[in-house]
Amino acid sequence: MEKTFEKVYQLKISIKGITPQIWRRVQVPENYTFFWLHYVIQTVMYWDDFHLHEFEMPDPRTGIPVKIGVNDDDFDDFFERTVLPEEDVNISDYFTLENKAALYRYDFGDNWQIKIRLEKILPREEGVKYPVCTAGKRAAVPEDSGGVWGYLYKLEILEDPEHEDYEDTVEWMGEDFDPEYFDPKDVLL
């Protein structure tokens, strides 16, 4: 990856369908591709990249929504879709101050939908190692937790130590899982 860049894109990444919101604020180099943005999202959400994913956002030149992701000819042919290769598409070609929002879908079974919003384009700060997570709220959703409804149900179970699935849920999510905890210093990008 080319280390030379002058600007950074500040993005807010938030999971749709969960209230209070689970979100992260990240700053990434302007020369990042969507492949590297995918890596950042996986890292800040503590996911392991086990599932398919794709981005969708309007092409700023035409306003027509495009899909950006991993090219899988068999999958794409079956679903009759065209996907731009994420490793070849720079975020700076799509995110502009007029074209600020994208949708990132992850794990088509659990159907996680992540809203990505360009907040600012900033000058690169000397001495800062990019990418960086600067803020966020609430713990990330554990991988394979059943989508929004499955996760919310697990949180419900954790509130009731008498629930028949309480011990299994605590074991699955981890004894020290705190749905309210997040510290950006814990994110290692």
Q: Which domains does the chain have, with CATH numbers?
A: 7-141+180-186 (3.10.290.30)
- The mean per-residue pLDDT over the stretch 132-147 comes to 94
Q: For the chain, what's the residue count?
A: 189
Helix axes of 147-158 and 166-173: crossing angle, nearest 10 degrees: 120
Spatial neighbors of 77 by CB under 8 A, at least 6 apart, are none
Both tokens assigned to 42: 């996986």
pLDDT, position 75: 53
Structure confidence at residue 15 as a pLDDT band (50, 70, 90): very high
- The mean per-residue pLDDT over the stretch 12-18 comes to 97
Cα distances from 126 to residues 8, 59, 149, in angstroms, run 12, 32, 43
pLDDT, position 159: 94
Cα gap 103→85, rounded to integer Å: 16
Task: Name residue, tokens 């807010």.
Answer: 12
Regarding beta strands 23-29 and 132-137, do their DSSP bridges make them parallel or antiparallel, or are they unpaired? antiparallel
Structure confidence at residue 76 as a pLDDT band (50, 70, 90): very low
- Residue 36 has phi, psi (to 5 degrees) of -75, -30
pLDDT, position 71: 75
Report CA 172 to chain centroid distance, whole Å: 22
Beta bridge partners of 119: none
Structure confidence at residue 152 as a pLDDT band (50, 70, 90): very high
pLDDT tens, position by position, 39-72:
999 999 999 988 999 999 999 999 999 999 997 6
- The mean per-residue pLDDT over the stretch 69-82 comes to 64
DSSP state of 85: E
Q: Is the pLDDT of residue 7 over 60?
A: yes
Percentage with pLDDT > 70 across the chain: 93
Both tokens assigned to 122: 């900033």
pLDDT, position 74: 55
Task: Name residue, tokens 């800040």.
Answer: 44
Cα gap 58→102, rounded to integer Å: 8
Check: CB of residue 35 under 8 Å from CB of residue 148: no
Report CA 166 to chain centroid distance, whole Å: 28
pLDDT, position 49: 84
Average pLDDT of the residues of the chain:
92
